[in-house]
């Protein structure tokens, strides 16, 4: 097992990429704390993992609140006897341009998609330093690598995640702390379905997004979880500060014709 003996805290893990990542980590031997604003969903997913023979505990947490993040970190550490891997996955979608995006929505997406990673990383940092190391993994997006019309707040937040990850990696290296992020293309998750539902023609939007990926489809959560597994494992012990793009070829360039 690639994560035998490891302990992981995964935020936004009641559904989507976070849920798939927690499940994959547990299948590979890690003990996992599943943190989510949806506490009932976190408990339910943890129970499902335990039913499959894994070790998992659900936890209610609000990554937009300093006190909640501090409590999440403390409880995860106490529950697992320590944490080796922090996966900052919790995020929200936001659609709008500088003309149409309300100021409070801009503030909200920056807070929950970017500042939340600062909060959780800051909360666990002294514990990782004292332990002699740790791994911080962040969910960014192809929207943080290339521009996307109509997603100004979300794209700005995810671009910030990429750069924050690199800075954390530089500062963490002396302490044995590795930091990396994954930049998924469009993945079949509740958040992406929410994005489609907000479009004027959801079916046409979905078809266009599928077609934009050279491999002809959106990704699946387990395909992103596989990337997180690699970055969390000892196979990636010499990998830090990277933004791993997993996008079905979306950012490779212009298609033929």
> What CA–CA distance (Å, rounded) separates 191 from 36?
14
> Is pLDDT of 257 > 70?
no
Q: Are 39 and 64 in contact (CB under 8 A)?
A: no
**Is pLDDT at 204 greater than 80 in this prediction?**
yes
Query: Does the residue 174 lie in any domain?
Result: yes
**What percent of the chain is helix, strand and coil (3-state, nearest 5)?**
50, 15, 35
The verdict on residue 212 lying in a domain is: no
101 within domain boundaries: yes
Furthest CA-CA distance within the chain: 57
Indicate whether 109 belongs to any domain: yes
Element (H, E) at 31: strand 31-36
Flag whether pLDDT at 254 surpasses 80.
Answer: no
CATH number of the domain bearing residue 60 = 3.40.50.720
Cite the beta strand spans of 102-251 per DSSP E: 134-139, 177-184, 243-246
* 146-156: pLDDT as tens digits: 999 999 999 99
Q: For residue 215, is it within any domain? A: no
Is pLDDT at 118 greater than 80 in this prediction? yes
Triad 89, 20, 57: Cα angle to 5° = 80
37-57 pLDDT tens trace: 999 999 999 999 999 999 999
- The answer to whether position 200 is within a domain reads no
Domain that holds residue 106: 7-187+220-245
**pLDDT digit string, tens, across residues 65-84:** 999 999 999 999 999 999 99
Q: Measured between alpha carbons, how far is 239 from 166 in angstroms, rounded to an integer?
A: 11
Q: Is 122 a member of any domain?
A: yes
Sign of CA dihedral 66, 72, 75, 80: negative
Indicate whether 181 belongs to any domain.
yes
| Average of per-residue pLDDT across 107-111 | 98
* Residue 154 annotated to the active site: yes
What pLDDT is recorded for position 231?
98
Look at the chain and report how many structural domains it folds into: 1
Other C-beta atoms closer than 10 Å to the C-beta of 43 total: 18
Residue with the bigger pLDDT between 108 and 198: it is: 108
Q: What is the pLDDT of residues 158-177, one digit of tens each?
A: 999 999 999 999 999 999 99
Ramachandran area for residue 169 (φ above 0: left; ψ -120 to 50: alpha; else beta): alpha
**C-alpha distances in Å from residue 14, one per residue of 22, 39, 116, 246:** 9, 8, 17, 21
């Amino acid at each position: 097992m690639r994560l035998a003996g490891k302990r992981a805290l995964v935020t936004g893990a009641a559904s989507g990429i976070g849920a798939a990542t927690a499940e994959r980590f547990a299948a590979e031997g890690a003990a996992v704390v599943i943190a989510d604003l949806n506490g009932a969903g976190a408990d339910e997913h943890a129970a499902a993992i335990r039913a499959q023979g894994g070790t998992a505990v659900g936890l209610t947490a609000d990554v937009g609140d300093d006190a909640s993040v501090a409590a999440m970190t403390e409880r995860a550490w106490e529950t697992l006897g320590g944490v080796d891997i922090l996966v900052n996955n919790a995020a929200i979608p936001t659609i709008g341009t500088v003309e149409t995006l309300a100021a409070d929505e801009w503030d909200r997406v920056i807070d929950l998609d970017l500042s939340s990673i600062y909060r959780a990383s800051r909360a666990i940092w002294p514990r990782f330093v004292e332990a002699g190391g740790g791994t911080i993994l962040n969910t960014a997006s192809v929207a943080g690598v290339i521009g996307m019309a109509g997603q100004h707040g979300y794209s700005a937040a995810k671009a910030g995640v990429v750069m924050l990850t690199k800075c954390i990696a530089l500062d963490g290296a002396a302490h044995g702390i590795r930091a990396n992020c994954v930049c998924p293309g469009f993945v079949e998750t509740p958040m992406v379905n929410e994005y489609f539902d907000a479009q004027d023609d959801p079916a046409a939007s979905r078809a266009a997004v599928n077609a934009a990926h050279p491999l002809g489809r959106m990704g699946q959560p387990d395909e992103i979880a596989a990337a997180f597994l690699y970055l969390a494992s000892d196979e990636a012990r010499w990998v830090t500060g990277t933004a791993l793009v997993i996008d079905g070829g979306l950012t490779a360039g212009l298609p033929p014709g």
